[in-house]
Amino acid sequence: MTFFMIYSVLHIIFIIMMGSSSATFSNNKENIGKYLSASYNNFTKDLYKELTSTNVGNIINSPLIIHMILSHLSHGAESTTLDELTKSLYHYNKSLIEEEYRSLIIKLNELSMVKLYIANAMYIQDGFEILTEFLTVGKDVYQSEISKVDFKNNVEASQKINAWVNEKTNNKIPYFVSSDNFNENTKLILINAIYFNGTWLNIFNIRDTKDRIFHVLKNQTKLVPTMYSKSKYTYGDMPTLQAKFIEIPYKNPDVAMIIILPNQIDGLLNLQTNFSFEMLANTTRFYNDIELYLPKFKIEFTMDLKNALNKLGLITMFKPNANFNRISNIPLMVDKVLHKAIIDINEEGTEAAATTGVFLRLRRCTYPEETEKFIVDRPFMFIIEYKPNNIPLFIGNVQDIEVTSQRDEL
């Protein structure tokens, strides 16, 4: 069984007034889905490269909810603030992206055979006026819950928000924010969460889990608990990245974990530097019996995304000249963008009758009775993908099975 709890916060504080501008977008319903996929995947690629270039150790994040919450924020922006959000989020057609997010949230929350929940909320300083249009977008598009709080009573405010996070993550994360995050200038919190709990389609028998060698570096190895399953999997080679991949399906065939394994022990840097979702989507897929060896792993990753977002071109929204005149008549700026993610991979799951689609191919010259092995024994990338829309729900890497990123509360 695997589970994921991800949530992002935009913490907005009171500042000085700024001018305004606007942007308009066409509406062509024939392209719904196309624009969100392109927008989201380009943003995901940029953000992941930035996170991996500045963080040492294992990483897990949900670019879906980061892109989602920034897209919501963009509805309140004008002038340079809006221009930067539009460019960094790849909002080729904002109206269609809005419609697709409305549809995607509903579809994901209704998936069967897995638990996948997305929730959004707005916490507003009691007595502070938010413009109707921004509230309407939050409720109608992002299904945001709206609550009034008194941030000056920072202890009570943090307790209320942590209770919401704890509920939406199925009691897995009771604490996220602290009372120190709020003061008399705090006027609005945008927050969202995603929770995933899925069982494998092809079971990993716990009796087959054994300590096996994992190459942390070329000259450093360790023994780590490694799961084993012999089943039919979709897989393929990515020669331009000097890597290969395998899809590990969940009981719901619309969701799969993709492991991307470099050919070389020290090949993760090259893989992450040159990876694109187009390469993965266009790679020839085979379907056959595979002996899969996959380490058990757990990652916690917490960070303030401000510096990473700055590198992606989101600069003005953090400055006193930020323009969020479509949120409030009182000037606002972004103070923090906090993100925390947890992933836990183990054997638990239920064997099911469902199968993945069969792909015909020209076979390599191998003996029919031989079964290929896919041995995850070195640093690798992983993606949890919602396949109908090619939406990566989660993305990360494992460099050292025992290393976990920051566990501390922000």
Phi, psi dihedrals of residue 15, rounded to the nearest 5°: -150, -155
Residue whose pair of structure tokens reads 């690629």 in the numeric block: 45
C-alpha to C-alpha distance for 287 and 361, rounded to whole angstroms: 9
Q: Mind listing the pLDDT tens digit for each residue in 368-383?
A: 456 799 999 999 999 9
Q: What is the mean pLDDT of residues 291-306?
A: 90
Task: State residue 10's pLDDT score.
Answer: 62
Tell me which residue of 129, 96, 398, 112 sits closest to 255, measured CA to CA: 112
Question: Which residue segments constitute the domains of the chain, with CATH numbers given?
Answer: 34-198+299-344 (3.30.497.10), 202-296+371-398 (2.30.39.10)
Q: DSSP string covering 30-42, please?
A: GGTTHHHHHHHHH
pLDDT digits (tens, 9 = 90+) for 150-176: 999 999 999 999 999 888 888 777 888
Distance CA 268, CA 398 (A): 10
Single out the residue of 196, 135, 142, 187 nearest to residue 169, CA to CA.
Answer: 196
Q: Is the pTM of this model over 0.95?
A: no
* pLDDT at residue 122 in the model: 92
The predicted-structure confidence for 200-255, as pLDDT tens digits, reads as follows: 998 899 999 999 999 999 999 999 999 999 999 999 999 999 999 999 999 998 99
- What's the mean pLDDT in 285-289? 94
Instruction: Tell me which H or E stretch contains 15.
Output: none
In b/e form, how buried is each residue of 73-86, taking b as 16+ CB within 10 angstroms?
bbbbbbbbbbbbbb
200 forms bridges with which residues in the sheet? 250, 349
Residue 113 has what DSSP assignment? S
Using 50, 70 and 90 to split pLDDT, how confident is the model at 8?
A: low
Task: Report the C-alpha gap between 357 and 70 in whole angstroms.
Answer: 35
Pick the closest to residue 258 from 395, 401, 66, 58 (CA basis): 395
Q: Which single residue is written with the structure tokens 């922006």?
A: 77
Q: How far apart are the first and last CA of the chain?
A: 28
With residues binned 3-state (H G I as helix, E B as strand, rest as coil), the percentages for the chain, rounded to 5, are 30, 35, 35
Burial class (CB in 10 A: 0-12, 13-18, 19+), 196: buried
CB 160 within 8 A of CB 171: no
Most confident of 188-192, 356-360, 396-400: 396-400
Q: What is the pLDDT confidence band of residue 341, given thresholds at 50, 70 and 90?
A: confident
Each residue's pLDDT tens digit, 106-134:
999 999 998 888 999 999 999 999 999 99
Helix ranges, 55-150 (H): 63-74, 79-88, 94-109, 132-140
Print burial letters for 121-160: b (CB count within 10 Å at least 16), e (below 16): bbbbbeeeebeeebeebbeebbbbeeeebebeebeebbee
Alpha-carbon torsion (139, 99, 322, 194), positive or negative: positive
For residue 143, pLDDT over 50 is answered with yes
Q: Specify the pLDDT at position 33.
A: 63
Round to whole Å and give the CA distance between 341 and 172. Answer: 11
The percent of residues above 90 in pLDDT, for the chain, comes to 58
Q: Return the pLDDT at 363.
A: 25
Contact between residue 117 and residue 194 where contact means Cβ atoms under 8 Å apart: yes
